[in-house]
Every structure is written in structure tokens, then in C-alpha cells.
């Protein structure tokens, strides 16, 4: 457990209060295979399931793709009564209910998308005990109708096994998706003290976690904090250049040119999203845009097309987020610099939720920094026109963290996890800096030049920002500079050998390493620190990961791991069979109006392609094939595999 900032909460411990819950490991594993088709729990899942079965309050924090849903769904099936699951979005409810139903599990939802009659019938069916899980929006759950009518009736007739609060960070104002209705759910604990409350979230910050426990009034909850490391994700940062679009196109077209692997491209502005989506479409990629400026119907259609694999790529602003449960996103590209590390982690984390290899690439150009700084400077109070200084300061701090990440030559995982307070020590073997270390150069001389320039001006009682100092060093001939007499400085023009961008990299490195300070009072100007003097006296050196020159861009990109390796891994025959099974999956999904991943995950298809089961018994052994999927899909898939074998063997 990397996070220790919740001292008042006891560690989780399996409790054996309920005799019915004393399922041994093999019993739980059988249930896992029977209902979900999985052979083993993911790390951390079993402990959560056990605490849930014991009827304790729970606070479980797992990264996206960690497999949270199963941690309450399996207990819902094994405990008496109906589980109420609170979910913030209709799309999320529908997605989970579809997945459960396709596994033969009795689950349903009640929300505003239903007409009155359907809702009434469903309510009666729930009361008759026809469902084990009922998904609800918080605003519905907290109405008097529910609190005084439906819930007590349900308790009397079937019992309620637990209230599960999914995406529980919505309860916190400190989180990024605050929903006031979530706040009211603290009442559940007061009204129904005997029913356990299970809170689940992928949020990474301690403050939000504290808030969840307090707001939901969790009673001595079992706390489970999984590692936030996502070992199946490959992280890379690449310089932005004129080749960037070409690289994106290569990624979208996939390693073998079949362009099947789903991907998300994040941009900052709506205009950028529209442009890029149109350009990709022109180049033959099935790409669609998604941002808050599109009307609701277009957004829904584009999202559905992506989920059903009709569109391969979504180009989006960060408006595209929480509702997306697609587990087989194979790559995420940040085409522009994200605003915060937390945001980056969550957005990149939408890749590879199914645990299969996936790639996260951040493109980083100096121009992005200027855009980001410009946007931060725009944060002004609309009433007074004054700068929102506190907000600007926070935004600058966050931007600096993102820049630290982007420009570092250290293991990307180490930086990300370190940011969330988790100790991880690289090399991780799955980031660009670990697999393709950047050469480091000694820039002490340049650093001294820059710092003495700051010192000279300070002697004259003058302070400036980085841009102007770089002009002096590069010997610019601007009028401002001449008027101020700065052409006379001994440092004037001594830095011509370096480009403006290289100087900027240097300045950021000096700032990151505490060798220079930036004042936050209005316009940021630079000043020396204690450590600057050590560098000026050559007691300290400055090493910099060499900023990639444009020529170098391609060579480095070329050495990167093949994108989309996940889906198309294996021998050529396996790849061919995989593609056939993928087409069959799509066809079966379309017939049932389901997203393909509901039928089978990529991992299941890959296991089929490798093992080539031709009968029911062999098919049952495939991971992801539970009892229900065996009935439903065994015939079609084994037939396809037999046909394939007949052709090739
Ligand atoms: P989260 O909500 O934590 O992001 P999900 O519950 O959606 O994650 O699970 C992510 C993916 O992992 C889903 O495709 C799910 O079927 C799969 N999964 C969950 N548990 C297991 C397991 N024990 N074995 C194999 N796959 C699993
Ligand atoms: Zn690494």
C-alpha cells in the first residue's frame, strides 16, 4: 500500500463473520470461472471480494483497468439480496448491464432513459427478485420515493446486499468530476445502517480518498489501495515536428497496415480536434471527432461508432472521458501537452484496460508551452478583470510538473508514480527512457553564461523573464535592447551557438533543478538561488538530456516498439486466425447490437487463435469463456476455427 495518508482507516483484513461467506479460494475461483470465465483474480481483487463478502464497508482504490467491477459484481452474486450500484452516467450503467447480461447475470438499470411503463415493470421485477444487481443514478436513489418507499420494500422482500458507489470520487469537490448529488449519499448510512457501503474509485489523490470516506460516512471501511502502476502500458514522449502527423498516421494504420487497433487522440481545442479528425479521415482512417461543441446526438453517435469498432479512432478534447469503458483501446496519443499530470495519467490510462499491451505517446513541442502559458494568463476574474492569481499559480505549478515529465530522461513510470506518492524504481523496461535512453550532455558552460547574464542585470537592479535574457545571449538587435544599453553587457551575444529553443530547454532545466527561481508576482522574472552560485563557481555541473534535433526525430521514432503489437502478436497463422475471429466477433456483436468487446475480449480471441479449440470442451478452457458464453458462442467460434484448420493444416 503506497498511500499511508488515511491513518484513521484500518487496514483490510478478511473477516469471517458470516458463515455463508467462508468461501475457500477454490470455491471463489470456481465462481469466477463460472460467471465471468476468468481463471484467476487480478492482483488485489480477491482481497476486496473477501471483505465485500464479509459485509464490511469498503473503500477500494484501483487504477483504471484494475478490474474494479468484478470486485462488487461477484459478491453481488454470492450474497443474498439485491445489490444497488450507483453510477454517475447512463452510458456507464448501460455498458455494465450489457456486459453482465452477456455473461448470463441478472442485472438491470433504472434511469431517465426509460419510459414510465418500462420503469414500472422493471421496478416490479426487481421487487420480485428477478435481478441480483440494480444500477441507479444517485439523484433517483436519493428521492423520497426511493428512500421511503422502494428501498424499504426491497429490503423487506429480497434484502439489499450492499450499496456500491462506483466512481466514488464524484463525491468530492477536490476531484475532477464533482457531482453534488453524490454528496447526499451520506444519508444512506444513516437511514440503513445495517447495509454495507462499498466505494470504488480510480482516483489517485489522497485528499479525494479522505473525502470519500467522510462524505459517505463509511464505517471502519476496509481500505484497499492497489498500485497505480499499469505494467501493460508503454509510455513515450516524442518531440513535435513536421513529422508528427505522419507518425500518428502510421500508428493508426497499425504495424501491418490493417488499421484495426482502436486509439484515442487528445487535443486541447475543439478546432484542433475537428481539423485532425478531418485530416485523418481524408487519409483513409476511420476517425471521428468528439468535443463539447458538438451536439449531443453527434457525440453519442461518434462514441457509439467507436465502441462498436465502426470507427477506429476518436479525436477528442478531454470532454471524452469517464463514460468510455472500451477495454481494448490499444493506443492513446496526446497531440498537445496535457494540463496536469493527474489528467495525463487518467487519459493515457484509457488505453489497455483489458490488461493487454498498449501504447501511450505524448507529443511535446516548445510551442505547446507558450500556448499553455497563454491559456494560464487568460485566467482572469470576469467581474473585475483581475488575474486569478491563486488559480494561475496552481496551474503554473501543474504545468511545471507536466514539463518535468516531458523533458526528463528518467524512467517515465518512476516520475508518474512518484507524483502520486508511490515508490517505484526504474528502469521499468516499458518506457522510451528505459528502452531507448537519451544521451546526456554537459551544459555547465551554457548554464554559467545564462546565470551570469541574470547576475549582471541584477547588479544593475534589473530583472527580466527568460525570453529577453535569451535575446541578450543570442545577440538580438532589437530596439528595446539597444535603448536599455544591453548591447554593452559582456554576455551580449555569447550564446549564439545555441538556438532559442535550446536556451529554453536550458532555462527549464535550471528551474526544475532549483538553480534558478521564477517570481510568481505577476510577470514571472528570473533570479538566482543559493545553488546558482555553486554552479557559477563550477562546484556543480548541469547535465541535460539532449533535446532531439529535427533530423534525429525519425530515427528515434523508428526504433520504438511496433504499435498495435497487442492484437496482432503471434505467428502469421495466428495473426490470420485472429483477424478472422475478430471479424466473426464483429458480426455476432452487430447482430445483437452489442459492442464487440462485450462478446469477447481481445485476450480471449488471442487465446483462441493460439490454441485453436475445435470442440466445446476445448472452448470452455479459453480464458473469458464462462458458462453462459460457452452456450452462446461455442458453436460459431469452433466452427470458424475448424474451417480455418481445414484450410491450413
Ligand atoms: P476498471 O473499472 O477497474 O477500469 P473493469 O472492471 O472495467 O476495470 O475491468 C477492466 C477489464 O479487465 C475488463 O475487460 C474485465 O473484463 C477485465 N478483467 C477484470 N477482472 C479480470 C480477471 N480476473 N481476469 C481477466 N480479466 C479481467
Ligand atoms: Zn521506464
Q: In this predicted structure, what is the pLDDT of residue 493?
A: 93
Name the H helices within 128-205: 138-141, 144, 151-157, 180-183, 186-191
Q: In this predicted structure, what is the pLDDT of residue 255?
A: 58
Ligand 1 atom closest to the Cα of residue 65 is: 4
Query: Cell 541574470 identifies what position?
Result: 454
pLDDT band at 11 (very low <50, low <70, confident <90, very high): very low
Residue owning the nearest CA to atom 2 of ligand 1: 68
pTM summary value: 0.79
The x, y and z cell numbers of residue 202, run together, are 480510480
- Residue 504 CB–ligand 1 contact under 6 Å: no
Q: In this predicted structure, what is the pLDDT of residue 19?
A: 36
Q: In this predicted structure, what is the pLDDT of residue 556?
A: 33
- Residue 601 CB–ligand 1 contact under 6 Å: yes
Cα of 228 from ligand 2 centre, angstroms: 14
Q: Are residues 256 and 171 in the same domain?
A: no
Q: In this predicted structure, what is the pLDDT of residue 510?
A: 86
**Within a domain: residue 613?**
yes
- Residue 38 CB–ligand 1 contact under 6 Å: yes
- Residue 595 CB–ligand 1 contact under 6 Å: no
Span 248-257, pLDDT tens digits: 999 999 755 5
Span 69-102, pLDDT tens digits: 999 999 999 999 999 999 998 888 999 999 999 9
Domain count, the chain: 4
Span 143-188, pLDDT tens digits: 999 999 999 999 999 999 999 999 999 998 776 678 888 889 999 9
Q: In this predicted structure, what is the pLDDT of residue 373?
A: 84
Q: What is the CATH number of the domain that holds 195?
A: 3.40.50.300
Question: Rounded mean pLDDT of 16-34?
Answer: 68
Rounded to a whole number, what is the largest CA-CA distance in the chain? 90
From the CA of 68, the nearest ligand is: 1
**Within a domain: residue 485?**
yes
Residue owning the nearest CA to atom 25 of ligand 1: 38
| Contact yes or no for 171/200 (Cβ under 8 A) | no
Percent of residues, the chain, with pLDDT higher than 90? 60
Q: Are residues 378 and 464 in the same domain?
A: no
Domain end position, chosen among 375, 404, 435: 435
Q: Are residues 380 and 480 in the same domain?
A: no
Q: Are residues 86 and 51 in the same domain?
A: yes
Whole-number mean pLDDT of the chain? 87
> What's 21-69 look like in SS3?
HCCCHHHHHHHHHHHHCCCCCCCCHHHHHHHHHCCCCEEEECCCCCCHH
Cis peptide before 474 (omega within 30 of 0): no
Ligand 1 atom closest to the Cα of residue 68 is: 3
Question: Rounded mean pLDDT of 101-116?
Answer: 93
Transcribe 442-499 into DSSP letters.
E-HHHHHHHHHHHHHHHHTT----HHHHHHHHTT---HHHHHTTGGGSTTTTTTTTS-
Q: In this predicted structure, what is the pLDDT of residue 293?
A: 94
Q: Are residues 58 and 175 in the same domain?
A: yes
Q: Are residues 163 and 129 in the same domain?
A: yes
**Within a domain: residue 555?**
no
Query: Cell 464483429 identifies what position?
Result: 586
In b/e form, how buried is each residue of 492-507, taking b as 16+ CB within 10 angstroms? bebbeebeeebbbbbb
pLDDT band at 206 (very low <50, low <70, confident <90, very high): confident
Q: Per mean pLDDT, which range of 15-24, 516-525, 570-579 is the poorest? A: 15-24
Q: In this predicted structure, what is the pLDDT of residue 616?
A: 95
How far, rounded to the nearest angstrom, does the alpha carbon of residue 420 sit from its chain's CA centroid? 14
Question: Rounded mean pLDDT of 578-599?
Answer: 94
**Within a domain: residue 2?**
no
Q: In this predicted structure, what is the pLDDT of residue 421?
A: 81
- Residue 350 CB–ligand 1 contact under 6 Å: no
Domain end position, chosen among 200, 225, 250: 225
Q: Are residues 86 and 148 in the same domain?
A: yes
Q: Are residues 515 and 584 in the same domain?
A: no
Q: Are residues 331 and 421 in the same domain?
A: yes
Taking alpha carbons only, the member of 134, 81, 82 closest to residue 109 is: 134
Q: In this predicted structure, what is the pLDDT of residue 572?
A: 86
Q: In this predicted structure, what is the pLDDT of residue 197?
A: 97
**Within a domain: residue 566?**
no
pLDDT exceeds 80 at position 561: no
**Please, what sign has the CA dihedral across residues 458, 464, 465, 469?**
negative
> What burial class does residue 276 get, using C-beta atoms within 10 Å of its C-beta: 0-12 exposed, 13-18 middle, 19+ buried?
buried
Neighbours of 548 (CB within 10 A): 16
Question: Rounded mean pLDDT of 614-639?
Answer: 94
Q: Are residues 186 and 247 in the same domain?
A: no
**Within a domain: residue 13?**
no
Residue owning the nearest CA to atom 23 of ligand 1: 41
Q: In this predicted structure, what is the pLDDT of residue 181?
A: 86
Q: What is the CATH number of the domain that holds 452?
A: 1.10.10.10
Q: Are residues 385 and 534 in the same domain?
A: no
Ligand 1 atom closest to the Cα of residue 66 is: 3
From the CA of 233, the nearest ligand is: 2
Question: Rounded mean pLDDT of 103-131?
Answer: 94
Q: Per mean pLDDT, which range of 249-258, 373-382, 446-455, 492-501 is the poorest? A: 249-258
Q: Are residues 576 and 540 in the same domain?
A: no
Q: Per mean pLDDT, which range of 51-60, 448-457, 531-540, 550-559 is the poorest? A: 550-559
pLDDT exceeds 70 at position 388: yes
**Within a domain: residue 88?**
yes
For residues 299 and 181, give the distance between their C-alpha atoms in angstroms, rounded to a whole number. Answer: 24
| Contact yes or no for 354/210 (Cβ under 8 A) | no
Q: In this predicted structure, what is the pLDDT of residue 376?
A: 86
Q: In this predicted structure, what is the pLDDT of residue 276?
A: 97
- Which one has a higher pLDDT value, 262 or 176? 262
Backbone angles phi, psi at 546, to 5 degrees: -60, 125
**Please, what sign has the CA dihedral across residues 641, 642, 644, 648?**
positive
pLDDT band at 618 (very low <50, low <70, confident <90, very high): very high
Domain end position, chosen among 529, 545, 561: 545
**Please, what sign has the CA dihedral across residues 154, 160, 164, 170?**
positive
Q: In this predicted structure, what is the pLDDT of residue 256?
A: 54
Q: In this predicted structure, what is the pLDDT of residue 175?
A: 66
Span 266-298, pLDDT tens digits: 998 899 999 999 999 999 999 999 999 999 999
> Which of 33, 68, 69 gets mutated to test ligand 1 (max ligand atoms within 8 A of its CB)?
69
Span 304-360, pLDDT tens digits: 999 999 999 999 998 887 677 899 999 999 999 998 898 899 999 999 999 999 999
**Within a domain: residue 477?**
yes
Q: What is the CATH number of the domain that holds 595?
A: 1.10.150.80
What domain range is 476 assigned to?
440-545
Amino acid at each position: 500500500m503506497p498511500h499511508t495518508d488515511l491513518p484513521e482507516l484500518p487496514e483490510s483484513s478478511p473477516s469471517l463473520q458470516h458463515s455463508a461467506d467462508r468461501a475457500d479460494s477454490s470455491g471463489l475461483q470456481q465462481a469466477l470461472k463460472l460467471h465471468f470465465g476468468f481463471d484467476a483474480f487480478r492482483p488485489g481483487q480477491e482481497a476486496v471480494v473477501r471483505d465485500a463478502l464479509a459485509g464490511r464497508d469498503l473503500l477500494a482504490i484501483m487504477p483504471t483497468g484494475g478490474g474494479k467491477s468484478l470486485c462488487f459484481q461477484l459478491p453481488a452474486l454470492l450474497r443474498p439480496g439485491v445489490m444497488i450500484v450507483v453510477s454517475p452516467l447512463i452510458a456507464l450503467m448501460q455498458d455494465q448491464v450489457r456486459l453482465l447480461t452477456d455473461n448470463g447475470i441478472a442485472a438491470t438499470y433504472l434511469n431517465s432513459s426509460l419510459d414510465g411503463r418500462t420503469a414500472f415493470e422493471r421496478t416490479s421485477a426487481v421487487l420480485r427478485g428477478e435481478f441480483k444487481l440494480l444500477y441507479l443514478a444517485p439523484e433517483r436513489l436519493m428521492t423520497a420515493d426511493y428512500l421511503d418507499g422502494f428501498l424499504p420494500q426491497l429490503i423487506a422482500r429480497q434484502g439489499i446486499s450492499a450499496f456500491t458507489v462506483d466512481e466514488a470520487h464524484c463525491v468530492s469537490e477536490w476531484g475532477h468530476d464533482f457531482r453534488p448529488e453524490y454528496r447526499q449519499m451520506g444519508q444512506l448510512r444513516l437511514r440503513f445502517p445495517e447495509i454495507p457501503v462499498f466505494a470504488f474509485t480510480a482516483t489517485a489523490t489522497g485528499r479525494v480518498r479522505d473525502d470519500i470516506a467522510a462524505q459517505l460516512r463509511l464505517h471502519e471501511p476496509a481500505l484497499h489501495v492497489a498500485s497505480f502502476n499499469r505494467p501493460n502500458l508503454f509510455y513515450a514522449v516524442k518531440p513535435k515536428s513536421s513529422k508528427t502527423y505522419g507518425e500518428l498516421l502510421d500508428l493508426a494504420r497499425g504495424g501491418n497496415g490493417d488499421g484495426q487497433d482502436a486509439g484515442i487522440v487528445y487535443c486541447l481545442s475543439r478546432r484542433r480536434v475537428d481539423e485532425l479528425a478531418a485530416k485523418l479521415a481524408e487519409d483513409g482512417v476511420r476517425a471521428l471527432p468528439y468535443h463539447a461543441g458538438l451536439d449531443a446526438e453527434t457525440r453519442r453517435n461518434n462514441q457509439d461508432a467507436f465502441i462498436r469498432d465502426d470507427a477506429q479512432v476518436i479525436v477528442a478534447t478531454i470532454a471524452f472521458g469517464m463514460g468510455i469503458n472500451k477495454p481494448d483501446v490499444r493506443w492513446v496519443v496526446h497531440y498537445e501537452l496535457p494540463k496536469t499530470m493527474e489528467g495525463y495519467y487518467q487519459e493515457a490510462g484509457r488505453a489497455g484496460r483489458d490488461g493487454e499491451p498498449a501504447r501511450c505517446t505524448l507529443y511535446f513541442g516548445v510551442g505547446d508551452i507558450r500556448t499553455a502559458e497563454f491559456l494560464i494568463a487568460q485566467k482572469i476574474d470576469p467581474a473585475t478583470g483581475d488575474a486569478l492569481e491563486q488559480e494561475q499559480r496552481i496551474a503554473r505549478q501543474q504545468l511545471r510538473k507536466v514539463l518535468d515529465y516531458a523533458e526528463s530522461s528518467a524512467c517515465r513510470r518512476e516520475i508518474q508514480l512518484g507524483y502520486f506518492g508511490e515508490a517505484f524504481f526504474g528502469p521499468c523496461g516499458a518506457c522510451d527512457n528505459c528502452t531507448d535512453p537519451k544521451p546526456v550532455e554537459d551544459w555547465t558552460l551554457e548554464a554559467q553564461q545564462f546565470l551570469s547574464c541574470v547576475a549582471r542585470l541584477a547588479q544593475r537592479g534589473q530583472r527580466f523573464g527568460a525570453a529577453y535574457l535569451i535575446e541578450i545571449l543570442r545577440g538580438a538587435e532589437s530596439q528595446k535592447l539597444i535603448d536599455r544599453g544591453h548591447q554593452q553587457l559582456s554576455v551580449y551575444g555569447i550564446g549564439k551557438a545555441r538556438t532559442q529553443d535550446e536556451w529554453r530547454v536550458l532555462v527549464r532545466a535550471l528551474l526544475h533543478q532549483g538553480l534558478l527561481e521564477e517570481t510568481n508576482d505577476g510577470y514571472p522574472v528570473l533570479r538566482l538561488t543559493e545553488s546558482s552560485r555553486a554552479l557559477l563557481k563550477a562546484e556543480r555541473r548541469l547535465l541535460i538530456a539532449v533535446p532531439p534535433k529535427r533530423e534525429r526525430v525519425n530515427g528515434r521514432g523508428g526504433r520504438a516498439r511496433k504499435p498495435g503489437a497487442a492484437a496482432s502478436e503471434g505467428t502469421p497463422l495466428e495473426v490470420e486466425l485472429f483477424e478472422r475471429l475478430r471479424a466473426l466477433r464483429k458480426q455476432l456483436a452487430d447482430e445483437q447490437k452489442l459492442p464487440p468487446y462485450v462478446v469477447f475480449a481481445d485476450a480471449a480471441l488471442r487465446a483462441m487463435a493460439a490454441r485453436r479449440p475445435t470442440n466445446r470442451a476445448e472452448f470452455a478452457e479459453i480464458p473469458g469463456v464462462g458458462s453462459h458464453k460457452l452456450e452462446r458462442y461455442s458453436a460459431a467460434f469452433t466452427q470458424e476455427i475448424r474451417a480455418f484448420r481445414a484450410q491450413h493444416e
